[in-house]
Structure 1
Amino acid sequence: MERWEKKMDTIAPRPRRTAFLLLVIPLTLLLIFGCTVQVHDRPTNPIPPEVPSRKDGSGYKSEHVFIVVMDGVRYSETFGDPTHRFIPHLYHDLRPQGTLFTHYHNRGVTVTRQGHSTLISGTWQTVPNGGPRLTRPTLFEYYRDEKRAPSTKGWSVFAKGPYAFEPYSSHPAYGSRYAGRHVHGGRQGDGLTENTPEGDVTVLNRVIEVMKTDQPDIVFINFGHTDHVGHVAKNIGEYHAAIRNCDEQMWKLWNAIQSDHHYRNTTTVFFTNDHGRHTHDFHSHGDHCEGCEHIMLLVLGPDIKKGTVIEREALQIDVATTAGELMGLQTPLATGRTLAECLTYYLELNRKEARTEAAHRALYLEQLADRNLIKAAADYVLATTKPEGVAANLIGEVLLRGMIHGQSETKEPRHLQFVQRWIDVHKHAKAIEQKAILGKVILELPSAVRKPYMDMAVQIGDRMLASPPDFADENDALIGGIFLGRLSEVTKRPRYEEPGLRMIKASLRQPDPKRPTDIEKAYELFLLGQAAALFRDDITVMKAYILTAAKALNRMKEDGALWDDPLVSVLDLCGIEASTRRGAMREFTQRREHDALPACVEAMTQQEMRALFPDRPRAPLRNLQNQLVQLIWERGKQGFPFSLDMLRYGVNEAGAYGNGSPAAQGGFLLSFKRLDWRYGGNTWPGPDSGKRP
């Protein structure tokens, strides 16, 4: 036995050596043949072994981006012209150094403000010329937020006036604190103008000056003379000459970039247009014809393919996203794609991720805003409020009318049943003020639903005619008069109309014993808007309404904005919306001939005008009246849809708007409306009515 054990001791190591060899030999063979396979299958166009890298590790050579706009020029006069006679530098000198997109389009609104706003935000924008700010963040805002860069690192230099572009958005997560520097034409003494060829030369000189003093990383440039000449030229030759001049400035800009050691070989430039011009009439633009939508895009830079022509369609929203990719920058709300086909290699750096507090907040707000907000707000009312707990007063009216209006969108019976239960609770109200509220609510019901309640509303109206109430409060008098006017409208019985108008006028003559708060002023506007909708031909009513509306709009921070108090915002918007919906504002929102003023404005006194515009104590009455009409146009018409749309950022996860009070919920339900993506009667964007941004 010992002999056997000794023998085993001598041979035991052999299996271990064999196992070792069995392990090593296959691994060696696998390594040899594996390496052979890898070498054999190497891609034909590999990423260079030494990928150029910026200091922040983004991987691209580009550290700066210039977006350069030749304003309002058709593709048929640039790269679509077989002779290229108007753009000799762009075609012969610059095209071989970069990538040309032959099917690049503005599928949005083909107007200056909208085109520039789309370019810099990467989202389709409908903000009109001279109107509100764009609704999504700009490249400047993304860059300053993510890179913690100072304002001098983003510059926009425009030949056109302030109507053409606003340098930061109205988005609540971004805005002015992330704005870049901006200079525009139209100011005396600085030479920036769209009216002369020299204006474009001044733009170039200002950009070169900024390059030396601030060394910005993002530069947005507008050469505006081409569009100006397109509108006013007596013959097309003047328009062509403006294109040649702009081509010269673009060529000089490229040379200035290449001669500056800070920008040379680290800058990508997008040469493009904001919009084109009508295919058959170069004097204008703004629709979806080929001439307006088909524009140029030539891209040059250290990461851009040279001498390349791409026929795949690219869109105006793609420029900002591509710029973000090259800068290693996230553009979380941009909807365009990266134009990877023009890059020498694509690293997918711009994933539109939220990497900052502002970006996280922006995505959170958009997620909340993308819900059916009307349903969310109406459901919140059902969850937190009982009909019997809602008083028959002005606050109750706002809530109940909001639920009625909301149900017209949600189509949910329970939202309307809430109102019907309230009517059943208050149908035996004794005070005439409460009965007037009850009658107003009944009259706002859908015709089929209000039919069983109409006898009740008529009885209230007849009682008011038989025994005219003596309202101590001016709002109660307004409510009573509006009820009678609306009753006349619904029943087609004129006998209620004149007493209603007298009641409203009597309320307007009552002196205000105290200085009203902003909320009290908002409730007054809420009622006067209804009165103006019913009696829009009465100068006294319209004058009172317009003065009250103008005071409210004057307190608004800017076009398309809201007021500081959420409740004030919805009440003011409700009042203006009521009058607008019924055509009471038609004289203010249509083009006026021969500087004619609306009759109610003609009736306003110097004292009333100076109280409205105290900063102009010596201005002539006519000037102040024109300023009033302009204020109503800019904020009560042009910017109004943007104000309504801004309300969507005020609804929380539970569906509460503002503080969730009954008046706030009702006001939101009554006033909120998303932006209508239409422009000039044409469905936007493009010919397909189903498209939305």
Structure 2
Amino acid sequence: MNYKNLALKVVLLFVFGTVKAQDYKTENVVLITLDGMRWQEVFKGADSLMVDDSGMIKEPGSLLEDFWNEDPLQRREMLMPFFWNTLAKEGQIYGNRAYGNKVDNSNKMWFSYPGYNEVLSGFADDKRITSNDKTNNPNVTLLEYLNQKPEFKGKVMAFGSWDVFPYIVNEERSGVPVNAGFDIAEGADLSPEEILTNKMQSEIRGPWGGVRLDVFTQNYAMAALKNKKPRILYISYGETDDWAHENHYDQYIWSAKQTDAYIKEIWDFVQSDPQYKDKTTMIITTDHGRGITKTSWRGHGSSIPKAGEIWMAAIGPDSPVTGEMKSQGQWHSAMIARTIFQLLGMEYPDAKAGKVIEEMVK
């Protein structure tokens, strides 16, 4: 017997078996963030502290019919039906602290730019990312790393409601196109959807100077999915945070439900398109949490207790169907970047990034 050949066969079997075991089906990724969306509403629905005559809603009792039930499991489904009728049955949802299932920011700032940097780069940078100023991110994000790879070059896109995203993604250095704030769709081959959205955005400015209404972000992102077919798509919705800052709990709740519908629209298209169907992982999270009292819920930041408590969710061909995660454990948004690379069959290039979310990959 030729023991050398036998040994070689054993080694090859082991190597190829290992490769096969790590061969994921994910070819595309949709990463979504809801700015400042609390885990309390995600898991318990409308907050009983807010749904009253406190002045935070337009009419006393106006949220009751659409959003109130004594059972928090019913309330959360009324608020976010896609989350609880699809994600909970076909994917994973992390962050219900009632079960000791904890998701937190690694950064200690607990506001937007540090939170988005952590999600996109894979680590906190509390020494350099200390404000929401429009300064280019010194860190390389997962979007930039992927755009540097030949198989993803020109197939990475980002859309956001907040006008700071071109700086967070460092559009100038990364080459990743970012449509954010009041940017319009540009180019010679605009789709009818993009032309109409350009017109509507110019006519409907919304209540904030630096944040557009999420409907425009959604329409631009959907048009890109349909017509430009990116392999990596990042979408950030902003209304929930801005309505909360203004102490409008009713608008915050309505925006959360509308965003849930936007996410459903994206997933329904993904599952209907040959490029994306059963080859796409969608990961959803937030940049930070908020306060938990009637007065502190509108704010966040290091001075607000509990504002670093967040949540995340995933659905895709390589993520086990575990629904609402009830196991005790600790996860961080810094873990998302390396997990995305793992799902794409690659090692994340920055050693500072958080670990892979092992429960999110088979």
Superposition TM-score, scaled by structure 2 size: 0.71
Tell me which residue corresponds to 2:235: 221
- 1:226 match: secondary structure: helix
Aligned partners of 1:97 and 1:300 also within 8 Å: yes
Q: In structure 2, do the counterparts of structure 1 residues 286 and 307 end up closer, same or farther at CA, with 3 Å as the change threshold?
A: same
- 1:242 match: secondary structure: helix
C-alpha displacement at 1:176, in angstroms? 4.1
C-alpha displacement at 1:90, in angstroms? 0.9
- 1:203 match: secondary structure: helix
C-alpha displacement at 1:137, in angstroms? 0.7
Aligned partners of 2:28 and 2:232 also within 8 Å: yes
| Whole-Å separation in 2 of the counterparts to 1:290 and 1:303 | 35
Match of 1:181 among 164, 167, 177: 177
What are the superposed Cα offsets for residues 610-660 of structure 1, whole Å, 9 maximum, x if unpaired? xxxxxxxxxxxxxxxxxxxxxxxxxxxxxxxxxxxxxxxxxxxxxxxxxxx
| Whole-Å separation in 2 of the counterparts to 1:290 and 1:48 | 48
| Whole-Å separation in 2 of the counterparts to 1:260 and 1:290 | 43
| Whole-Å separation in 1 of the counterparts to 2:212 and 2:79 | 18
Tell me which residue corresponds to 1:338: 356
- 1:146 match: secondary structure: coil
Q: In structure 2, do the counterparts of structure 1 residues 116 and 166 end up closer, same or farther at CA, with 3 Å as the change threshold?
A: same
C-alpha displacement at 1:236, in angstroms? 1.8
Q: In structure 2, do the counterparts of structure 1 residues 164 and 211 end up closer, same or farther at CA, with 3 Å as the change threshold?
A: closer
Q: In structure 2, do the counterparts of structure 1 residues 229 and 177 end up closer, same or farther at CA, with 3 Å as the change threshold?
A: closer
C-alpha displacement at 1:177, in angstroms? 4.9
Tell me which residue corresponds to 2:31: 67
Structure holding more strand per residue: 2
- 1:294 equivalenced with 2:317 (yes/no): no
Aligned partners of 1:194 and 1:228 also within 8 Å: no
- Partner letter of residue 295 of structure 1? I
| Whole-Å separation in 2 of the counterparts to 1:48 and 1:306 | 24
| Whole-Å separation in 1 of the counterparts to 2:143 and 2:125 | 16
Q: In structure 2, do the counterparts of structure 1 residues 195 and 331 end up closer, same or farther at CA, with 3 Å as the change threshold?
A: farther
- 1:204 equivalenced with 2:218 (yes/no): yes
- 1:324 equivalenced with 2:344 (yes/no): no
1:353-372 residue pairs with structure 2 within 5 A?
A: none
- 1:313 equivalenced with 2:313 (yes/no): no
1:270-285 residue pairs with structure 2 within 5 A?
A: 270-280=283-293, 281-285=296-300
Higher relative contact order, chain-length normalized (CA < 8 Å, sep 6+): 2
| Whole-Å separation in 2 of the counterparts to 1:165 and 1:104 | 27
- 2:159 match: secondary structure: strand
Aligned partners of 1:121 and 1:136 also within 8 Å: yes
Aligned partners of 2:181 and 2:212 also within 8 Å: no
- Partner letter of residue 166 of structure 1? Y
Aligned partners of 1:156 and 1:167 also within 8 Å: no
- 2:149 match: secondary structure: helix
Tell me which residue corresponds to 1:166: 167
Aligned partners of 1:277 and 1:291 also within 8 Å: yes
Match of 1:230 among 244, 259, 266: 244
1:213-612 residue pairs with structure 2 within 5 A?
A: 213-233=227-247, 235-280=248-293, 281-287=296-302, 289=304, 291-308=306-323, 309=325, 310-333=327-350, 334-344=352-362
Tell me which residue corresponds to 1:157: 159
- 2:32 match: secondary structure: strand
- Partner letter of residue 246 of structure 1? T
| Whole-Å separation in 2 of the counterparts to 1:194 and 1:291 | 30
- 2:281 match: secondary structure: strand
What are the superposed Cα offsets for residues 103-150 of structure 1, whole Å, 9 maximum, x if unpaired? 111131211222112111101134221232222211122112233643
- Partner letter of residue 254 of structure 2? A
C-alpha displacement at 1:249, in angstroms? 1.0
- 1:59 match: secondary structure: coil
C-alpha displacement at 1:63, in angstroms? 0.7
| Whole-Å separation in 1 of the counterparts to 2:264 and 2:19 | 32
What are the superposed Cα offsets for residues 541-565 of structure 1, whole Å, 9 maximum, x if unpaired? xxxxxxxxxxxxxxxxxxxxxxxxx
Q: In structure 2, do the counterparts of structure 1 residues 135 and 74 end up closer, same or farther at CA, with 3 Å as the change threshold?
A: same
C-alpha displacement at 1:80, in angstroms? 4.5
C-alpha displacement at 1:207, in angstroms? 1.2
Q: In structure 2, do the counterparts of structure 1 residues 284 and 303 end up closer, same or farther at CA, with 3 Å as the change threshold?
A: same
| Whole-Å separation in 1 of the counterparts to 2:18 and 2:116 | 39
- 2:311 match: secondary structure: strand
Aligned partners of 1:65 and 1:219 also within 8 Å: yes
What are the superposed Cα offsets for residues 579-629 of structure 1, whole Å, 9 maximum, x if unpaired? xxxxxxxxxxxxxxxxxxxxxxxxxxxxxxxxxxxxxxxxxxxxxxxxxxx
Q: In structure 2, do the counterparts of structure 1 residues 49 and 136 end up closer, same or farther at CA, with 3 Å as the change threshold?
A: closer
- 2:329 match: secondary structure: coil
What are the superposed Cα offsets for residues 366-413 of structure 1, whole Å, 9 maximum, x if unpaired? xxxxxxxxxxxxxxxxxxxxxxxxxxxxxxxxxxxxxxxxxxxxxxxx
What are the superposed Cα offsets for residues 195-242 of structure 1, whole Å, 9 maximum, x if unpaired? 499922222221121113322121111111111111124x42222111
C-alpha displacement at 1:92, in angstroms? 2.1
C-alpha displacement at 1:51, in angstroms? 4.5
| Whole-Å separation in 2 of the counterparts to 1:89 and 1:121 | 28
Q: Tell me the C-alpha RMSD between the 2 structures.
A: 3.0
- 1:101 equivalenced with 2:94 (yes/no): yes
- Partner letter of residue 160 of structure 1? W
- 1:221 match: secondary structure: strand
- 2:29 match: secondary structure: strand
C-alpha displacement at 1:300, in angstroms? 0.6
- 1:222 match: secondary structure: strand
| Whole-Å separation in 2 of the counterparts to 1:61 and 1:148 | 16
Tell me which residue corresponds to 1:145: 148
| Whole-Å separation in 2 of the counterparts to 1:143 and 1:284 | 34
- Partner letter of residue 107 of structure 1? S
- Partner letter of residue 121 of structure 2? S
Q: In structure 2, do the counterparts of structure 1 residues 282 and 164 end up closer, same or farther at CA, with 3 Å as the change threshold?
A: farther
C-alpha displacement at 1:187, in angstroms? 4.4
| Whole-Å separation in 2 of the counterparts to 1:304 and 1:104 | 18
- Partner letter of residue 133 of structure 2? G
C-alpha displacement at 1:273, in angstroms? 0.7
- Partner letter of residue 222 of structure 2? I
Tell me which residue corresponds to 1:110: 110
Aligned partners of 2:106 and 2:123 also within 8 Å: no
Tell me which residue corresponds to 1:120: 120
Q: In structure 2, do the counterparts of structure 1 residues 76 and 48 end up closer, same or farther at CA, with 3 Å as the change threshold?
A: farther
| Whole-Å separation in 1 of the counterparts to 2:110 and 2:140 | 20
- Give unmatched runs, 5+ long, in structure 2: 4-15, 46-71, 96-101, 185-196
Aligned partners of 1:168 and 1:179 also within 8 Å: no
C-alpha displacement at 1:323, in angstroms? 0.5
| Whole-Å separation in 2 of the counterparts to 1:80 and 1:133 | 37
Aligned partners of 1:75 and 1:291 also within 8 Å: no
Aligned partners of 1:277 and 1:292 also within 8 Å: yes
| Whole-Å separation in 1 of the counterparts to 2:17 and 2:81 | 34
- 1:147 match: secondary structure: coil
- 2:274 match: secondary structure: coil
Structure holding more helix per residue: 1
What are the superposed Cα offsets for residues 30-72 of structure 1, whole Å, 9 maximum, x if unpaired? xxxxxxxxxxxxxxxxx999948xxxxx711001111101111
Percent identity reads: 22
- Partner letter of residue 339 of structure 1? I
| Whole-Å separation in 2 of the counterparts to 1:198 and 1:184 | 8
C-alpha displacement at 1:267, in angstroms? 0.7
| Whole-Å separation in 2 of the counterparts to 1:290 and 1:259 | 43
**Which runs of at least 4 in structure 1 moved beyond 4 Å after TM superposition?**
47-52, 192-198
C-alpha displacement at 1:305, in angstroms? 0.6
Superposition TM-score, scaled by structure 1 size: 0.39
